[in-house]
């Protein structure tokens, strides 16, 4: 549905009043009604880099989810305040790794005698606590656009990787980009004693994958891929690496949201694409390229419900509050966690390439 014109005008007017004091970041999965007000759009990696791009702006409004706003708070200057228009915009994947569970897993690795040779690599989609844990233990953060480089860096440093919290990104990167076998990977289940693994299994593994996944990308199945290939025989299947391993191995291309956008933008007129990522993004791509066939990989609707919580009424409320001199929904990470999380984030930003 089209955005409410009154709210559009109020958001525009508030942005104009705030001028250079405001910097709005928007993730590619945000609604159209919100993304139109972003000063910068991007995937998680680009937004982490861009967060620090306006050091003079005291207010940073993050249209994305909680862990992204936390990272922005960690990476920006102390005088800058990061605002998440709806505090309920979390991420079910990030919630699958609680710090207590991860600390316990590290003890399990210690008991098995492998913690000293294990490097934690944590996906951006994790809480600031998990990023802090990663920094404290000499690891790095990664995103879907630099997971390969992060793993190469980690394996140059240690023998094993503890990959948090997305098992699919970890497995897909290790197997499809680093040439490991599925047998090199084990899955640590935080709901089972000792992760459901024996000490021998931990000693033999190279990739210790946390049992987490994205509920949005996890919905695409091998049947979706087969079904779309039958319906559109010359289709190119393009998916995000958060999808299951069998989906990624049966797709034609795989990459982060930024990669997906660039690939479809550069494709010739008349080409056909089935895209396996969040629906707001796929719909925008289809609208932007009426000369190409762009379909959603699944037949059902599949928005990220927490990304969608940032809507125009919440954005207008956050912006108008700032105009009135009130900061609402500030996201602030405590100093010690922020210090160690910054160590891990800086390590990611320093990865070669
Ligand atoms: P990227 O932005 O790194 O492609 O990640 C997708 C995602 O799930 C963000 O929540
Ligand atoms: Fe989290 Fe998946 Fe939504 Fe990204 S798309 S915010 S990983 S639930």
Residue 153 domain boundaries: 94-213
Q: Give domain status of residue 351, yes or no.
A: no
> How far, in Å, CA of 84 to CA of 294, rounded?
31
**Which is the closest atom of ligand 1 to the Cα of 242?**
8
- Name the domain count of the chain: 3
Residue range 195-215: mean pLDDT, rounded: 98
> How far, in Å, CA of 82 to CA of 68, rounded?
10
**Which is the closest atom of ligand 1 to the Cα of 307?**
10
In a shared domain, residues 320 and 289 = no
- pTM to 2 decimal places: 0.95
pLDDT of residue 55: 92
In a shared domain, residues 195 and 117 = yes
pLDDT at 132 over 70: yes
Ligand nearest to the CA of 93: 2
> How far, in Å, CA of 351 to CA of 162, rounded?
18
pLDDT at 30 over 80: yes
Residue range 84-99: mean pLDDT, rounded: 98
Was 59 annotated as part of a binding site? no
pLDDT of residue 45: 83
In a shared domain, residues 202 and 142 = yes
Query: Is the ipTM here above 0.90?
Result: yes
In a shared domain, residues 102 and 84 = no
Residues 38/26, Cβ–Cβ less than 8 Å: yes
In a shared domain, residues 155 and 176 = yes
Paired residues of 237 in beta bridges: 274
Residue range 181-188: mean pLDDT, rounded: 98
Residue range 14-22: mean pLDDT, rounded: 97
Q: Give domain status of residue 39, yes or no.
A: yes
Ligand nearest to the CA of 66: 2
pLDDT, tens only, 294-330: 999 998 878 999 999 999 999 999 999 999 999 999 9
> How far, in Å, CA of 18 to CA of 232, rounded?
48
Q: Which of 219, 217, 228 is nearest to 295 (CA)?
A: 228
Pocket test for ligand 2, best of 43, 45, 65 (most atoms within 8 A of CB): 65
pLDDT of residue 3: 81
pLDDT at 289 over 70: yes
By DSSP bridging, strand 81-83 and strand 330-331 are antiparallel
Whether the ω angle into residue 165 lies within 30 degrees of 0, i.e. cis, is: yes
In a shared domain, residues 82 and 104 = no
pLDDT grade for 44, boundaries at 50, 70 and 90:
confident
pLDDT of residue 205: 98
Q: Give domain status of residue 326, yes or no.
A: yes
**Ligand 1 site residues, Cβ closer than 6 angstroms:** 43-45, 125, 143-144, 214, 242, 256-257
- CA of 160 from ligand 2 middle (Å) equals 26
Token pair listed for 352: 């070669």
**Which is the closest atom of ligand 2 to the Cα of 91?**
1
Residue range 50-64: mean pLDDT, rounded: 93
- CA of 276 from ligand 2 middle (Å) equals 13
pLDDT of residue 48: 84
**Ligand 2 site residues, Cβ closer than 6 angstroms:** 29, 65, 91-93, 125, 214-216, 278, 304, 306-307
Q: Number of C-alpha atoms within 13 angstroms, CB side, residue 7?
A: 15
**Which is the closest atom of ligand 1 to the Cα of 260?**
4
Residues 47/25, Cβ–Cβ less than 8 Å: yes
In a shared domain, residues 253 and 265 = yes
Residue 63 maps to which CATH number? Answer: 3.40.50.10800
pLDDT of residue 200: 98
pLDDT, tens only, 92-120: 999 999 999 999 999 999 999 999 999 99
> How far, in Å, CA of 188 to CA of 209, rounded?
6
pLDDT of residue 80: 96
pLDDT at 140 over 70: yes
- Looking at every residue in the chain, the average pLDDT score rounds to 96
pLDDT at 1 over 80: no
- CA of 215 from ligand 2 middle (Å) equals 7
């Amino acid at each position: 549905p089209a955005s409410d014109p009154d709210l559009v005008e109020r958001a525009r007017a508030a942005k104009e009043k705030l001028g250079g004091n405001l910097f709005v970041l928007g993730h590619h999965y945000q609604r159209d009604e919100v993304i139109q007000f972003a000063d910068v759009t991007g995937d998680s990696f680009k937004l982490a880099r861009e967060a620090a791009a306006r050091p003079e702006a005291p207010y940073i409004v993050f249209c994305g989810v909680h862990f992204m706003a936390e990272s922005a708070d960690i990476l920006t200057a102390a005088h800058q305040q990061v605002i998440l228009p709806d505090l309920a915009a979390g991420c079910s994947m990030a919630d699958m790794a609680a710090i207590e569970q991860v600390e316990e897993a590290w003890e399990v690795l210690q008991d098995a005698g492998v913690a000293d040779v294990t490097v934690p690599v944590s996906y951006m989609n994790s809480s600031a606590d998990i990023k802090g844990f990663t920094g404290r233990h000499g690891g790095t953060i990664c995103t879907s656009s630099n997971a390969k480089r992060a793993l190469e860096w980690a394996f140059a440093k240690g023998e094993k990787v503890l990959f948090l919290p997305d098992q699919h990104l970890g497995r897909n990167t290790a197997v499809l980009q680093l040439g490991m076998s599925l047998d090199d990977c084990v899955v640590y289940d935080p709901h089972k004693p000792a992760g459901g693994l024996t000490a021998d299994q931990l000693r033999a593994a190279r990739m210790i994958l946390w049992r987490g996944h994205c509920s949005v990308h996890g919905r695409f199945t091998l049947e979706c891929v087969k079904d779309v290939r039958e319906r559109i025989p010359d289709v190119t299947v393009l998916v995000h690496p958060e999808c299951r391993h069998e989906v990624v191995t049966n797709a034609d291309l795989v990459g982060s949201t930024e990669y997906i956008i660039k690939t479809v933008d550069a494709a010739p007129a008349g080409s056909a694409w089935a895209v396996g990522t969040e629906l707001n993004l796929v719909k925008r791509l289809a609208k932007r390229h009426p000369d190409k066939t762009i379909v959603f990989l699944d037949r059902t609707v599949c928005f990220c419900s927490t990304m969608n919580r940032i809507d125009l009424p919440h954005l207008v409320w956050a912006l108008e509050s700032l105009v009135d001199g009130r900061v609402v929904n500030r996201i602030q990470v405590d100093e010690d966690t922020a210090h160690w999380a910054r160590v891990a984030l800086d390590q990611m930003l320093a990865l070669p390439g």
